[in-house]
Amino acid sequence: MSHRKLSIAFTLLLLLGFAVSQAQPLKTEEPAFIYASPDAHTTPDYQKVIPLLLAEWEAAYQPIRPGSTGRVVLKVYTNSGMGLRTPPGLVLALADALVERGFARENITIADLDTRRLRASGYLPALSDGGATFHGMPVISLDNPKYHLKDWFYESPLPPHPLLKGAEEGKNLELLEGDEDRKSFLPAPLLFNLDFWINLPVAFHHPILGMSGATANAGVWSVSNQSRFFSRPVSAASSTVEIAAIPELQRSWLFSIMSLEAYQIIGGPRFNSYYTQSRPEVILSADPLLIDRYALAAINASRIQRGFDPISPDPLFFRYGESLDLGSANLDSTRLKSVQ
């Protein structure tokens, strides 16, 4: 093995040790179920992988069956466009698995924030074609005002992003109590009239959050007026965690599934193919912090292999998330269950 490869391997061990030492384990730590293809150069076969992962989760917890409503929401990520989106193959395989378990396809809804980006990512048909379905499943935009319930919002004194408001530099921009711009409306379709929702995030480096993944997709990427949170790392991390930890959102959140078919190591959320990597790995867990820690290790490994430093400092949302019992960022190997 070359000196460079030894150096990379040693650095990765240090990163893993640092991640474990920084985490403060909760009383109960959820496992993660991971499928890794033996062929490192293939795209995951989701029609094979998803049933395997669901079966492992059901064996550890309980069968996935229709409840009182028979409705499910799949929260995808489309903010970066076609190149860095929740893989459609994953969504279709998951929908097929849910149909096999008794759910009607028309009761499986695909949701994300923005209609335009859902369309640009291929989840909505072209305007000229009409319609709002993806392979028989309804597709909705969470920023539609009809999903904004007046009493269900996350309130913060942070103003909208300066680019949107033309704010003057140095001006005190904190908003007064009662100002509508303090509100970010919560995703009502993930809160009410459903059996559960499943989080389907994408991993990428984010200049303010450090990284975006399962926690962010359930947090800031699920509410209106979210650009204001990205003014500084502390507000981005705290808002992401506080939204994701809202009890009503937690109550209906079954788990997250992340594919590493495409992840971006530098410069997100804007897609850049030069910095996009791929691994034939899919991870399922009820703990978003564990998924994000695993994804961060993959991002940092790719950064090191390409001559870049790991992401630093460690993203703040890990620490905040543990303080609110959102999960545990402890990447101990005993929590990672290989599925084949």
Paired tokens of 284: 């399922």
Please, which residues bridge with residue 337 across strands? 33
CATH number of 50-339: 3.40.50
Q: What angle do CA 198, 291, 226 make, to 5 degrees?
A: 65
Domain boundaries, the chain: 50-339
Candidate from 26-30, 168-172, 206-210, 256-260 with smallest mean pLDDT: 168-172
Alpha-helical (H) ranges within the chain are 3-22, 46-60, 88-100, 115-120, 162-165, 214-218, 233-244, 247-252, 288-305, 316-323
Q: What percent of the chain has pLDDT over 70?
A: 82
pLDDT digits (tens, 9 = 90+) for 100-144: 999 999 999 999 999 999 999 999 998 878 889 999 999 999 989
Q: Is the alpha carbon torsion for 131, 133, 138, 144 positive or negative?
A: negative
pLDDT value, residue 155: 59
- Asked whether residue 2 carries a pLDDT value surpassing 90, the answer given is no
pLDDT averaged over every residue in the chain: 85
Antiparallel, parallel or unpaired: β 204-206 and 153-155? unpaired
- Asked whether residue 22 carries a pLDDT value surpassing 60, the answer given is no
pTM: 0.85
**What does the pLDDT average to over 219-226?**
80
Paired tokens of 46: 């989701």
Select the more confidently predicted residue: 43 or 300. Answer: 300
pLDDT value, residue 154: 59
pLDDT value, residue 157: 45
d(CA 148, CA 79): 20
Question: Is there a contact between 188 and 150 (Cβ–Cβ < 8 Å)?
Answer: no
At residue 217 the predicted structure's pLDDT band, cuts being 50, 70 and 90, is: very high
- Asked whether residue 48 carries a pLDDT value surpassing 60, the answer given is yes
Q: Which residues contact 180 (CB under 8 A, 6 or more apart)?
A: none
pLDDT digits (tens, 9 = 90+) for 154-211: 555 443 433 333 333 444 444 444 445 567 778 899 999 999 999 999 999 999 999 9
| Amino acid at position 142, single letter | L
pLDDT value, residue 268: 85
